[in-house]
Amino acid sequence: MLQQWTLGSGLALIAAANLFACGQAADSAPEDGTDEAGTAQQAILDGTAATHPKFGAVGALVFALPEYGVLDVFCSATLVAPDAIVTARHCTPNIDLAPELGLMAAFAIGPDAFAPTELLFITDYVAAPAAPGKEKGLLQDGGRDVAVAHLESAATTVVPAKLGLFDNHMLGDKFQLAGYGVSDAFGVYGQRFAGPGTARAIKGHWYELLFRGNYRAYLDWYFTDAPSALPSQAEAKEWWKSYRLESNYELLAGGLRGEAVACYGDSGGPLLRGTKASNMTVYGVSFAVEGSISSVCDLGGGYLVFNRKMLNFVRSAL
C-alpha cells in the first residue's frame, strides 16, 4: 500500500472521525548539493502563524454544535464566494459524517479555528469526479481531489479569494501554502499557519520527485523511516516506479530547504498568491504529503491544481 496518504483528519474529537491520515516525509538529503527537504525544526509545518488579514479567506472545516462551538478541526478550505468554499474532495465524507454523530459541519473563519470570528454551517457540496479509469499508479483514487461546499449564509467579515488558472509556466515559482493542520513536531493544530513553497513538478513519479532522483536516499528512508513500509525490496521497487502525479492535474510543492509543507489537517488548504486580501488568489488545494517516523511531514506535498478543466469545474459548482 502506498505510504503517502491524504491529509485531512479529525484529530481529537472522536476516533470515528479520523477518516483520513496525512502522509509523512523523508529527511534524507540528496548527495548532489542541491536543495534538500526541510526539517521539522523549520515551520503549515515549517510555517508561521498567519494572522495577517490577507489570509482571511482561508478557514477550517470543523465539527461543531451551535451551543458549544467548535469541537474539532478536520480539514482546511478557502472562501471563494460569499457563501461557498473550495476544499479537497476527500474531506467531504466528514461533512457527511457530522450529522451521524449528532454534529454539524461548518467553515470556521479566523486565525484560531477553535475561537472563530465567524462560524458558517455547510449545507451541501459538489465533489469533482476522480480521473477516468483510475489509472494504475496515480496517487490516492486518481487525483482531481477537489470539492466546492455551499454555506448556510454569506461571510461578512472577510473578502473571498479569487480563483486563478495554474499555468505550467508557473513551475519554479513561489506560492504560499496555508492551512489549520499540524504546525510543529508536537502536533499542535487548529491555528492558521502559512509559509512559502516552490511549485516543483506537475508530472512525474512521486518518489523520484520527492528524492530528486536519489534512489539510495529513498531506500535509506524506506527501510529505516517509512511508517507503512512492509518492508521488502519488491515493495520498495514498486513504490519507486509506480506512484506518480496525474500529469497537469497534480503538483508537487514545498518541502525544500527553508520552505513550508502541508501536514495533518491541511487537506483542502490553498496554494495561494497575493499581497493583500483583495488580490489573494487560490490556484489549487492540498491533498497529500509524504512523511516519516522521525520528521512528521517535511518532504513535499501534493496539490490538485486548477488547470482549465478543474477551474471550470469549480466555477460551475459555485
**Predicted TM-score of the model (pTM):** 0.86
> Residue 147: its pLDDT value, please?
98
Query: Tell me, what's the pLDDT at 140?
Result: 67
Spell out a b/e string for 226-236, using b for 16 or more CB atoms within 10 Å of the CB, else e. beebeeeeebb
pLDDT at 39: 31
Q: What is the pLDDT of residue 141?
A: 60
Residue 142 has a pLDDT of 63
End-to-end CA separation in angstroms for the chain: 35
Tally helices (H) and strands (E) across the chain: 5, 17
3-state helix, strand, coil in the chain (%, to 5): 20, 30, 50
- For residue 295, the model assigns a pLDDT of 75
Domains, the chain, ranges and CATH? 5-25+35-317 (2.40.10.10)
Q: Which residues contact 124 (CB under 8 A, 6 or more apart)?
A: 149, 150
Task: Quote the cell numbers at residue 137.
Answer: 499508479
CA distances to 11, 15, 33, 227 from 19, rounded to whole Å, are: 10, 9, 39, 18
CA-derived radius of gyration, the chain: 18
pLDDT digit string (tens) for the chain, length 318 residues: 233 444 554 433 332 222 223 333 332 333 333 333 333 333 377 789 999 999 999 999 999 998 999 999 999 999 999 999 999 999 999 999 999 999 999 999 999 999 999 999 999 999 999 888 666 778 766 679 999 999 999 999 999 999 999 999 999 999 999 999 988 766 788 999 999 999 999 999 999 999 999 999 999 999 999 888 888 999 999 999 999 999 999 999 998 888 999 988 999 999 999 999 999 999 999 998 887 887 778 778 999 999 999 999 999 999
